Copies of this chain bind each other. A is one copy, B any other.
């Protein structure tokens, strides 16, 4: 008799669970599980419980739908941020990326995805109605659409534009152009073409 790959059901369960995560194959899963076996019991308990706690206790902010430990997130509840400027993003990672630039002082609205018929995601699956509702409350002056520059992103932008164009709110989008640090030789022609057409004042380009 030869063991069926795993000498222990507990080990097999843990490997199976790890292998369900995206980008982690069975070999990596085994490596991670054997690593955990060598750690202190306490540390593994903290790890396991942190995942369960995350999933069971996390909330979504009632205003912007970003994830949060409280009913209203730390950005929406902060007194010095500008509530008349809203940046619409796809997900929480985008919030983190924009926060890391330290260039934005408004609030967010997290859609929870973008319109993607291929993945079965329609407008009603996203926080678009709640965005319209926020705009209708009257304090918002400008909406920055900061979605991916893909077909799905453009579709979602256009859908939101149609919903909001008669509300009087100003709609803007992220500047498109050659990335800072990029060589022209390797810039795609659509981006390059657009950035010639939409060329900007040189003096503005150096004030950053």
Contact = CB atoms under 8 A, between A and B. Distances in A.
Given A52-B48, A54-B14, A69-B8, A93 B22 contact: no
A84 interface: no
A57 B13 CA distance: 13
A73 interface: yes
A50 B155 CA distance: 42
A17 interface: yes
A3 to B, nearest CB: 5
Contacts of A41: 55-56
A50 B17 contact: yes
The A contact surface, by secondary structure, is helix
A34 B39 CA distance: 24
A5 B99 contact: yes
Range class of the A interface residue count: 35 or more
A55 B44 contact: yes
Given A10-B53, A10-B69, A1 B78 contact: yes
Nearest to A4: B99
Contacts of A92: 7, 34
Most chain-B CB neighbours within 10 Å: which of A7, A34, A91? A7
A180 to B, nearest CB: 20
A75 B44 CA distance: 28
Contacts of A52: 44-45, 48-49
B36 A45 contact: no
